[in-house]
Structure 1
Amino acid sequence: MNILERFSLRGKVIVVTGGTGILGKAFVKALAEAGAKVCIIGRSQEKADERVRLVQTLGGEAIAVVGDVMNEESMRNAKHQILAHWGTIDGLVNAAGGNIPGATIAPDQDVFDNKIGDTIKAIELNLYGTIIPTLIFGEVMAKKGVGSIINISSLAASRPITRVLGYTVAKHGVDGFTKWMAAELALRYSDKIRVNAIAPGVFLTEQNRTLLTNADGTYTDRAQKFVQGTPFSRLGDPSELEGTLVYLLSGASAFVTGETIFVDGGFNNWCGV
């Protein structure tokens, strides 16, 4: 098999939770272009159907499944639908997540003004919303001994980022879960089932738009600090995650597991001087 063939996902069935989101759209597009059959899971039928049409315009095959990553029964129902349609699952992208407005501390608030309930919800969404699908869809891959699972980490798991306590705690958990699951699946099942994570830099999405842009569309002071702390001196574009995603799902990364790959324009490795 030549190197180009190793990067191909042709015929592979890949599940994308949060496939209706901004980053999810980039992931779905990349998977279709790499030849995968894509299952888009989201809470909106309309948005999921829109993603299916995107895949079809690219000449690919996709199905939409409405589901809630926080609900075990919902994810089991999704698994049954996928298996009934395609008969197997070869990969999982845990793209569901994001921050919750009530879990973000405003500039004029004290740390202890933090809404504890919303902070817990942010932790649950990002951490449990990764663990639950992994345990349900991952079982299919484990039993056949082949598959790749991609979790979404964050800069917040390696560098303290102010104001987002729940999100920060959750992403630390995602990193730990990625390492733990990678070791367990390899030791118990096969050296052909892998678990890795992508840690995006700062990308402008619907979840962080109010933090990063003013009403007139200009960058907030917070966004300017991110740009100044990035050697590339800009925010990222979701399309810049696509290559790393395909690499980690494909045979090109056959000996890579338990890793978190940063796609951040150099933010994480720069001290600022």
Structure 2
Amino acid sequence: MYTGRFAPSPTGPLHMGSLIAAAASWLDARAAGGRWLVRIEDLDRPRSVPGAADEILRALERLGLGWDGEVVYQSQRESLYREALDKLRPHTYWCDCTRREIADSSLALATDGAHIYPGTCRARGARAGRALRIRTDRQEIRFDDRVQGAQSQLVERDIGDFVLYRADGLYAYQLAVVVDDAAQGITDVVRGADLLDSTPRQIYLQRLLGVPTPRYLHVPVAVNAAGEKLSKQTGAAPIELSFQTVRKALRFLGQPDAANLDEALRNWNSALISRRRALALRP
């Protein structure tokens, strides 16, 4: 059975960028007769805002985007991440490099703008360090995104050995999302295209852990007039909790106008979504 999910970070109220991802995920799941789960990605505690998770859930309910089962919180699942990290131990190593040292020694930037890790600590065999990295290889990761089309990445060349356990003592997003999607039986991931370049890293980990790879659908990211992704950091305003806001999300996703969610669900067609990675949000 189709099982989708919406996984917001509780850094503030639901804004238009988050609603677009939520609406696309909800509509795709319900149109397939599937389940739709909600997972709160609150692993990064310093960024989490008290009360934001409850506010996001209330907003989803007010807009009619109901979910199945209990809401899952990443902060309560650290034992699962620890277990997965133990399985990956033969493929990992400790790294003592600071961000400045990586920037000074890196020869290029990754697609997400981060410095490609040059493998400085690979052969050191340290028993402890600042962060734990996964050792990548030269295999090409290929997948077909339902909107963005055929994708490929050589993780070792394009990203380098990436972090699974951070220097601040937190499990990295790439590990947590793979573990959670597998544990929840997620078959379809619908999310913003800002995460498209993270997908090969997640597929790489899925293969090492022996868990299924979901289908992926990445919708364009909503950007403001300055070309910045809508987020708390760029001053994205909380949404108005009315169906007019959902209609605005439908327009952004290239869908026909609808008078209510039932009509939006009948009309849902993922083939109408733009293949651009980012689109300006019109007033």
Q: TM-score, normalised by structure 1?
A: 0.38
With CA pairs under 8 Å and 6+ residues apart, which has the higher RCO, 1 or 2?
2
Q: Which has the greater radius of gyration?
A: 2
Q: Which has the higher helix share?
A: 1
